[in-house]
Amino acid sequence: MTKLLGISGSLRKASFNTGLLTAAKAVAPEGVEFETATLHGIPLYDGDVEAESGVPAPAEALKQQIIAADGVILFTPEYNNSVPGVFKNAIDWLSRPPADIRKVFGGRPFALAGATPGSFGTILSQNAWLAVLRTLGAELWSGKRLMVPKARALFDSEGQLADEETRERLRGFVQAFADYAATVKQRGGEAPSKS
């Protein structure tokens, strides 16, 4: 059984990215356990808070979900041509204390997906994530890219994916990433050779 975790980088109830995450869980193939996570309740990073009381419970819970997963998909919005602050803030908490970085991120497969009302499908946000995830030692999967542009025409008023062509693209994306995560798991956390 391959365990995937999907995290939506938006707090909005009818978020396109939360809708994409929900649809990804629905299309996950047999043999894949697909869990979802939220950023709700994670406070702004504050070193004084960390020094006084450690990592807040919502951030610690998310950290444990990642540790338990064979692969993680970040469903990222794009705000002002980059990473949403609320999402980056969560990752900053997950990197604390520094001694935990390796067990949370080190060699773990991560994939990027995103939906946006604009025409470029979160390409700039996804590109901005690359440096962050590389710094943390994550295994970035580049087998497929999932960028969903012009999302208003593809999601209903409740934020649910309503477009079948996009659903099929999503199905292929989740399947391919699950296969990759399973391969990394079988090799004991070592990414497949690119030769």
**The two three-digit tokens of residue 10, written as one number:** 């938006």
| Helix, strand, or coil (residue 149) | coil
Confidence of residue 122 (pLDDT cuts 50, 70, 90): very high
pLDDT for 169 equals 97
**What pTM value is reported for the model?**
0.95
pLDDT tens across 65-98, in order?
A: 999 999 999 999 999 999 999 999 999 999 999 9
- For residue 195, pLDDT over 90 is answered with no
DSSP string, 17-72: HHHHHHHHHHHPPTTEEEEEE--TTPPPP-HHHHHHH-S-HHHHHHHHHHHH-SEE
pLDDT for 142 equals 87
pLDDT for 191 equals 60
**Neighbour count for residue 154 (Cβ, 10 Å):** 21
Q: Give domain limits for the chain.
A: 2-186
CATH of domain 2-186: 3.40.50.360
Report yes or no: 186 and 70 within 8 Å, Cβ to Cβ: no
